[in-house]
Chains A and B, each alone.
Chain A
């Protein structure tokens, strides 16, 4: 697969001012709401420390915790499966469905099944898969992947959704009202839920001590996916294990506040065993996680609880759109996880960052995201994955910055050149920075020149 050119994709996204502005506004609003919510909890920073320490402890003892979870889930009558990769996961799910003649499946939002490509796998084998999360359903109807891990359709404006629903459901195309559109969605999705033969959800947390699966949702669709049909399948990334309910409390207090600024989601649901007369399956999925656990610099990314706060605060994400990353996980958390799946394909992503560190500051589990982004740049360089233009520029910059005389000559001559060169010469092919921005007006003198004039020693 070819290398994802995030910068090029982002350039295409911002060509359209309407979407650039509305996306930036929406995503920044989420960041502000997160700040307000955090300020209302005096122990917020202590909760972040606890969450980080609980995750680090669990990952350091993941083998025993996985076995404990498995034993308790089995004791509850749950069937536990293990999948090494996305394909194994999809095959297990398909085999369960096929052996029970379940040809209709309702799903609630799950990033893991996005990662595994579960829906296309099942659909190509004759299973009718319906997403029941509003955002995920919008993306499914428009045949697009999620643009945000919390709100998959955030890249679409309300007008886009009105037009889409009008095309698919025949609703009023001119009624760009979220409440109306939510009603349209409910009316058309309800029958899919009540008639489905099987339901599938992802997992926010898996509790080792009780064997329970926890889902955190707003819409009630995970609870319906799990309770309306008798057959329920649940996909769990192996890093989702936490020790017990005492620890779960810390994450429940952090997750929704970090994601949307709400104190909690409408449904915090705990599934310990199958509903009466039903059966419950859990598929524990590795898909590269156990390898990442051994990466000295990168294993802390496994602490992620998928709140999206790092994305909401990232200036590059907000101005690029989520689809520009061409990946399941996007924004800062995507940058540090996607190269573990496919290094060549995602080799450009670590450069889609200003390294301002805001992602690290808002992360509820204190992942050192910006340090990992920087470390990934080093890996790309070592593995010769850095694009040649970027690499040459870095070599020249490195030489200039280590030789003060050369640096002064270069800055002076650049300031002079910027004043006299025609526009086409400044905004040339090599000026990546200037492709979408104006170069700042040149200063009349460099700092060094000013300093020499104004200071004697």
Chain B
């Protein structure tokens, strides 16, 4: 018997008695302001929050990332120095100082934003960059993780990540410090998609 057949036969032989699969409630509390809940949660995870698009985005970037030489933009709102497609070898994205990308979904409960290959195009630009600025339409914020998992990206994308604040680690001393292997800072800008 090959390994697959052996494992499946042994599993079938040993399965315990059936238990019903429960339905999962949505646990909505309907907070009045999803945006402020999102802001609170994001800041708890050491993310930065901007309530509206800066009037001069280029000046904002210069001011907040004064040492940035390479800005990779995956959005039409800003040209940047590079496009994701410039990185034929995905590991080369390590030279990016700031990545700018739009997220199609935010989660108020946790301050998370969704990114998939559709937004990133070259997935590593979301991790190898020094800093990341994420545009999010406030209308795309849902209340909790249960709502988030209804998004089609989790059924259709090759890769989907709920990214929450900058990379960190609590492995030394048990308290989370930044950075780890991903971005050093993460900023979410409330930026309506139709603007």
Contacts and interface: CB of A to CB of B under 8 A. Distances in A.
A246 B25 CA distance: 9
Interface string B4-41: 10111011111111111110110101000000000001
B171 interface: yes
Nearest to A156: B172
A269 B120 CA distance: 14
Contacts of B173: 26, 157-158, 178
A373 B36 CA distance: 46
Given A56-B19, A59-B15, A220-B183, A182 B169 contact: yes
Interface size class, chain A: 35 or more
Interface size class, chain B: 35 or more
Nearest to A67: B8
Nearest to B151: A245
Interface stretch (B67-75, B96-104, B154-162): B154-162
Given A84-B3, A228-B124, A264-B162, A60 B16 contact: yes
Taking each of A195, A262, A271, which has the highest tally of chain B beta carbons within 10 Å of its own beta carbon? A262
Interface string A61-98: 11100110000000010000011100010000000000
B24 A290 contact: no
A210 B21 contact: no
A132 interface: yes
Contact of B167 (A67, A193, A266, A275): A266
A450 to B, nearest CB: 46
Contact of B41 (A224, A260, A263, A276): A263
Contacts of A291: 10, 14
B80 interface: no
A210 B154 contact: yes
Interface string A220-249: 110110111100000000100001011111
Contacts of A63: 8, 11-12, 15
Contact of B158 (A26, A30, A154, A274): A274
A263 B11 contact: no
B14 A293 contact: yes
A268 interface: yes
Contact of B7 (A212, A238, A270): A238
A194 interface: yes
A154 B169 CA distance: 12
Nearest to A278: B90
A112 interface: no
Contact of B4 (A46, A82, A224, A275): A82
A193 B8 contact: no
Nearest to B109: A263
B91 to A, nearest CB: 4
Interface string B142-172: 0011101110001101111111111111111
Interface string B37-78: 000010011000000000000000000000000000000000
Interface in A252-305: 252-253, 260, 262-276, 284, 286, 290-291, 293-294, 299
The 4 closest A-B pairs by CB, nearest first: A220-B182, A294-B14, A219-B180, A135-B171
9 contacts: A134-B171, A138-B171, A151-B171, A186-B180, A227-B90, A249-B146, A250-B24, A264-B164, A270-B161
Given A133-B171, A266-B165, 10 more contacts: A59-B15, A84-B3, A178-B177, A218-B168, A220-B182, A221-B182, A263-B109, A268-B112, A270-B157, A275-B90
Interface of A: 26-27, 29-30, 42-43, 46, 49-50, 53-54, 56-63, 66-67, 76, 82-84, 88, 132-135, 138, 151-154, 156-158, 161, 178-179, 181-183, 185-186, 189-190, 193-195, 210, 212, 218-221, 223-224, 226-229, 238, 243, 245-250, 252-253, 260, 262-276, 284, 286, 290-291, 293-294, 299
Interface of B: 2-4, 6-8, 10-22, 24-25, 27, 29, 41, 44-45, 90-92, 94, 109-112, 117, 123-124, 126-128, 144-146, 148-150, 154-155, 157-183
